[in-house]
Amino acid sequence: MYYLTGGHKMEMELLPRHFPNIGVMEGKLPEDTVDSLWKLIEESKKQPEDMKSDLAGNISSSIRLDGNSPLIEDFVKNVIPIYIEQTIKSYGAPWRATMKEGQGWNLESLWVNFQKKHEFNPPHDHSGVYSFVIWMQIPTSYAEQKKLPICAESNADGSISNFGFHYTNSLGRVSQFFYNMEKEAEGYMVMFPSEMKHEVFPFYENDGERISISGNIDIR
């Protein structure tokens, strides 16, 4: 980079310095894993165990899933550990993730959410060390939702129908990152530190259900 001073051309090298900040780990699940999760959801509907009283959301139906089910053995024993390994490799381990000898990762809780139009999850966090969300069915399109009058008449353009994380930037200000809810996000899993605030915004003018799986991982 060059600049002028006193009529003389001087050279000066400028380098950007990025402060470290924790993030999330995301990826598309294999089709056979998604199929197994669908089977677990259908199994849970036979004798549903309501989870609403344990959750922060304003969602009509949330059902506990059996994390020990043989249906998702591969997901628990292989997929989750890969996500954790890559998360720690990329961002380091949260302060609560200091394992003692003989301890290991444990799927503390697992549930499925059935979200209808106008329903939402306010900003909240989870128990555990890591948490995750898997979008199984998305009946809406963010691109179409933001064209609706309710969005055009407000400042909700970036958030309508979406999933959002809250994080603190290097200036100490709370910022947001949104995942746009589109059909392409079905089968997508995002793992994040359980303490990271996040929320689910409502969608409108669609009678379908958004179905997602959530879980918390702790040390045992």
The domain that holds 163 is classified in CATH as: 2.60.120.620
Is position 3 within any domain? no
Whole-number pLDDT of residue 213 = 98
Residue 115 domain flag: yes
- Number of structural domains (the chain) is 1
Residue 14 domain-assigned (yes or no): no
Give a yes or no: residue 16 inside a domain: no
Q: Strand, coil or helix: what is 71?
A: helix
C-alpha torsion 124→127→131→132, nearest 10: -60
Q: Which domain holds residue 44?
A: 23-219
- Does some domain include residue 78? yes
- The whole-number average pLDDT for the span 54-80 is 92
Spatial distance between the Cα atoms of 194 and 185, rounded to a whole number of angstroms: 21
Q: Looking at the domain assignment, is residue 176 inside a domain?
A: yes
Flag the least confident range among 48-57, 95-104, 107-116: 95-104
- Whole-number average pLDDT of the chain: 90
E strands, 43-156, in order: 61-64, 105-115, 121-124, 130-137
Let me know: does 134 contact 37? Beta carbons within 8 Å: yes
Distance, in Å, from the CA atom of 191 to the CA atom of 131, rounded to the nearest integer, reads 6
The C-alpha atoms of residue 34 and residue 136 are separated, in whole angstroms, by 8
User: Is the pLDDT assigned to residue 1 strictly greater than 60?
Assistant: no
Helix (H, G, I), strand (E, B) or coil at 89: helix
Q: What is the pLDDT of residues 177-219, one digit of tens each?
A: 999 999 999 999 999 999 999 999 999 999 999 999 999 999 9
In a domain, 34, yes or no: yes
